[in-house]
Amino acid sequence: MKKLMILAIGLFYVGSNVQAQHFPKPNCTTMLGEAMFAEVDTTKPRGVSDNYHTWENGKVLLVKFMPGGSKILRDKVMQNAKEWQKYANITLKFVPDTTKNTDIRIKLGKGLGHNSAVGTEAKFRSQTTQTMNFDTLYFADADYYIASLKRKGIQPPYNLNQLIAEMKADPNRWNNAELRRVVMHEVGHALGLLHEQSYPGAVNWKKTDSVYKYYKETQGWDKAKVDFNVFEVSNQFYTNGTSYDPKSIMHYSIQPWETTDGYSVNNNFELSAGDRAIIAALYPKNLKTSVHVVPKVDISNFGKLNVVTSTTRNGIVIQPTFDLKTNSKLGEVYFVARLADEDGYYIRTTNTYYNWGGTAAGYLKMNLLPNSKVSYNKGTKKNLEIFIPFDQIPDVNGKKVMVVFAVYLDDVANKQMDKLMYFSTTNPLSIIH
Ligand SMILES: [Zn+2]
């Protein structure tokens, strides 16, 4: 058991090291693309859903692997991922690596951590970036490789290089139960499910320094990431009226010392009855749309985010190119173009106008009908532009800025506001006027 711990710490180290790169500047809470980088994570061996980011019912999701991962390992991931299909009206169609446009992209590798974009938030990532990571080191049968090292007379403690050498010499000794658990959990996120421990009131966390320190040491997570991955409490609306399910595959394992009342949860290795019920309700096989459907807009075929500095109009003209589709429910949609500096920090403003949550921005509120489709700026005639006058922009003359385009939705009927539907950003560009 002790040897396993040493090995585990080695593995965690690698995982956290690489993960940290997802957060270039983790201390700033106004980081550009905050939501985009807020991955849900299950690196720790451990039916709440985000209905605004579930896929359309009946959708065939195109899934591919990014370069890496043996055929044997890929087959195992595929097989376990498809477990959800038994209960959901969704198809995971695995396509060749060379396929250009896919919905989910899986990267198998060492030191990646396990994480996934939640549902349609995968669309915020470029086609050349993965939407799901699996750390294959965690899938290795550690007991087997330790026994092998022992047989060779090598004494503990063992380091990571020794383990990797063993794996290379004798591959495909996998911890199948762990692999299955993790794959089903991450694919659950990819279908829009959130962490079950975030069910409101479910867990009384001990938010002490020792708990933060534990996650820092084992995961490499800073306070913000612990708050997001571990302590986050979901909005009651997101429970879809289900009751708390400690058997959910979406639940972290919890140790008694992490809670104020000694509550604990063990790892779950199979989909619970609750998991099967919620996924069937979100993606019903016998109904056209889920009873839990909320207003959504689907942004696709996003092309260029054209930004023109106009001296004749004295401002910046922003013309995004995309197709938009609404669903059966009516929501209020905002197209927002915010300005950020070249390091990725939003440019603050105190202006009354051209201000989106304290950031220099232009925005449009759109009246869109349910079940409608619109193409913006696809033809020669431009039909969407966001304008920001120079005199409303804090001093950026001669500096490089980025334009961050986002689509937000207010679901007024359900009192759920500011749902991020799309996110895209330009490279830094100069604004000279
Ligand atoms: Zn997770």
The helix/strand/coil state of 184 is helix
Q: Which of 392, 398, 406 is nearest to 429 (CA)?
A: 398
Alpha-helical (H) ranges within 109-254 are 136-139, 142-151, 160-169, 176-190, 209-219, 223-226
Most confident listed range (55-69, 138-152, 384-398, 419-433): 55-69
Task: Please tell me the distance between residue 313's alpha carbon and the centre of ligand 1 in angstroms.
Answer: 48
Task: Please tell me the distance between residue 49's alpha carbon and the centre of ligand 1 in angstroms.
Answer: 12
Q: What is the pLDDT of residue 31?
A: 31
Higher-confidence position of 200 and 99: 99
Digit-coded pLDDT (tens) for 287-300: 999 999 999 999 99
Task: Please tell me the distance between residue 251's alpha carbon and the centre of ligand 1 in angstroms.
Answer: 8
Digit-coded pLDDT (tens) for 224-276: 888 887 888 888 888 888 889 999 999 988 999 999 999 999 999 999 999 99
pLDDT at 30 over 60: no
Digit-coded pLDDT (tens) for 289-338: 999 999 999 999 998 889 998 889 999 999 999 999 999 999 999 999 99
* Phi, psi torsion values for 430, nearest 5 degrees: -85, 135
Task: Please tell me the distance between residue 309's alpha carbon and the centre of ligand 1 in angstroms.
Answer: 43
Digit-coded pLDDT (tens) for 156-188: 888 888 888 998 999 999 999 999 999 999 999
Decide the pairing of beta strands 60-65 and 193-194. Answer: unpaired
Digit-coded pLDDT (tens) for 377-428: 998 889 999 999 988 988 777 778 889 999 999 999 988 888 889 988 877 7
Q: Residue 229 is encoded by which pair of tokens?
A: 């991955």
Digit-coded pLDDT (tens) for 75-120: 999 999 999 999 999 999 999 999 999 999 999 998 788 889 899 9
Task: Please tell me the distance between residue 197's alpha carbon and the centre of ligand 1 in angstroms.
Answer: 10
DSSP code, position 227:
I
Domains and CATH numbers, the chain: 2-282 (3.40.390.10), 297-430 (2.60.40)
Structure confidence at residue 431 as a pLDDT band (50, 70, 90): low
Which residues, at least 6 apart from 379, have a Cβ–Cβ distance to it below 8 Å?
none
Q: What is the pLDDT of residue 373?
A: 95
CA angle 71/77/82 to nearest 5° reads: 125
The helix/strand/coil state of 7 is helix
Q: What is the pLDDT of residue 178?
A: 94
Max Cα-Cα span within the chain: 79
Task: Please tell me the distance between residue 165's alpha carbon and the centre of ligand 1 in angstroms.
Answer: 30
Task: Please tell me the distance between residue 92's alpha carbon and the centre of ligand 1 in angstroms.
Answer: 19
Q: Residue 241 is encoded by which pair of tokens?
A: 């009226």
